[in-house]
């Protein structure tokens, strides 16, 4: 069982949109609501790619593991 579900979709302007969620149902409903075409559902994506390019569409808050660590400005 995977911790996250991934999706590569395309909008009406033919621009790719990368989505991540904790459930496939959240991704499916987001795609229907925003009129996105699903291109693929990869099983694995590099964590850095997810942190930088994927949009969280889950119902809960984006998990900290998917956030980019930034140094604190003193």
pLDDT in tens, 24-45: 999 999 999 999 999 999 999 9
Q: Would you kindly state where each structural domain of the chain is located, as residue ranges?
A: 9-57
Burial of 59 (0-12, 13-18, 19+ CB in 10 A): exposed
The predicted-structure confidence for 45-68, as pLDDT tens digits, reads as follows: 998 899 889 999 988 888 888 877
Read off the pTM. 0.84
Nearest-CA neighbor of 5 among 58, 49, 63?
A: 58
């Amino acid at each position: 069982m995977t911790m996250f579900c991934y999706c590569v979709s395309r909008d009406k302007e033919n621009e790719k949109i990368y989505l991540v969620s904790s459930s496939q149902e959240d991704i499916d409903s987001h795609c229907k609501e925003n009129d996105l075409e699903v291109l693929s559902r990869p099983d694995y994506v590099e964590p850095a790619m997810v942190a930088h390019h994927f949009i969280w569409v889950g119902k809960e808050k984006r998990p900290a593991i998917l956030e980019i660590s930034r140094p604190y400005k003193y």
